[in-house]
Structure 1
Amino acid sequence: MRELTKEDVLAAVRGGSVYASGGGGWVDHGLEIGGAALAIGKPKLVSVDELPDDAIVLTCTAIGAPAGTDWQMLGKDYIKAVELIMEQYEGRIVGVMTPQNGMSSSINGWLPAAALGLVVVDATGDIRAHPTGKMGSLGLASSLEYETIQAVVGGKPELGSYIELVVKGTPARTSNILRTASDMAGGFIAAARHPLPAKYIKEHAAIGGISIAIELGKAIIEAEQQGTEHVLQTICGHTGGKLLARGRITKKDVHYAGAFDLGTIDLEEADGRVVKLHVMNEYMAVDGPDGERLSTFPDVIATLSLETGRPVSVGHIEEGAEIGVFVIDRSLIPLSSSVKDPSVYPEVEQAMGIELLKYLGTPSGSGV
Structure 2
Amino acid sequence: MSAARTDPLGTDRLGTGRLGTDPLRTDRLCADVVRAAEPYATAVVVALADGERAEVRCTGRLGHGPGSAPCTPETVFELGSVTKTFTALLLARLVSGGELALDDPVESHLPPDWIAASVRSGEPIRLLHLATHTSGLPRLPPGLLAGAVPTWFSNPYGGYGERQLRDGLARTTVRARPGGRYGYSNYGVGLLGRLLVEAGGGASYGELLAEKVCGPLGLRHTTCAPDAPGRATGYRRGRALPPWRIPGLPGAGAVRAGGADLLRYLQAHLRPGDGELGAALREVQRPRLRLPRSGDQLGLVWQHRHAGGRELWFHTGGTRGFTAFVGFSPPTGTAVAALANTGPTLDGRFLQSAYELLRGLSGPDR
TM-score of the pair, normalised by structure 1: 0.30
**Larger RCO (CA under 8 A, 6+ residues apart):** 2
TM-score of the pair, normalised by structure 2: 0.30
Q: Point out the structure with the larger strand share.
A: 1
